[in-house]
Amino acid sequence: MKEHIFDDPSSLSHEDSQPTFTRNNVECSAPKVQPTPDIEKKYVHRVYDAIAPHFSSTRFAKWPKVQSFLNSMPRGSLVLDAGCGNGKYLGLNPNCYYIGCDISSPLVNICADKGNEVLVADAVNLPYRSSYGDAAISIAVLHHLSTEQRRRRAVEELIRVVKRGGLVLITVWAREQEDDSLVRKWTPVSVKYEEEWIEAGSVVVPPVTTTASSLECIPEGQEYFVPWHLPYHRAEVGGGASADAVASGFARKDDKKSAVVYDRYYHVFTEGELERLVEGVDDAVVADKFFDKSNWCIILEKT
Q: What CATH topology corresponds to 38-192+220-227+268-302?
A: Rossmann fold (3.40.50)
Strands 133-139 and 162-173: parallel
How far apart (Å, rounded) are the C-alpha atoms in residues 223 and 276? 18
How far apart (Å, rounded) are the C-alpha atoms in residues 300 and 170? 8
Q: pTM of the prediction?
A: 0.82
Strands 78-82 and 133-139: parallel
User: pLDDT 10s per residue in the chain (303 long)?
Assistant: 444 444 443 333 334 444 444 444 544 445 555 689 999 999 999 999 999 999 999 988 899 999 999 999 999 999 999 999 999 999 999 999 999 999 999 999 999 999 999 999 999 999 999 999 999 999 999 999 999 999 999 999 999 999 999 999 999 999 999 888 888 889 998 744 655 455 544 433 344 333 333 333 334 579 999 999 999 988 765 456 788 899 999 999 999 999 999 999 999 999 999 999 999 899 999 999 999 989 999 999 999
Residues 6+ apart with CB under 8 A from 280: none
How far apart (Å, rounded) are the C-alpha atoms in residues 85 and 52? 9
Rounded to 10°, the helix 105-113/46-58 angle is 30
Q: Where are the domains of the chain?
A: 38-192+220-227+268-302
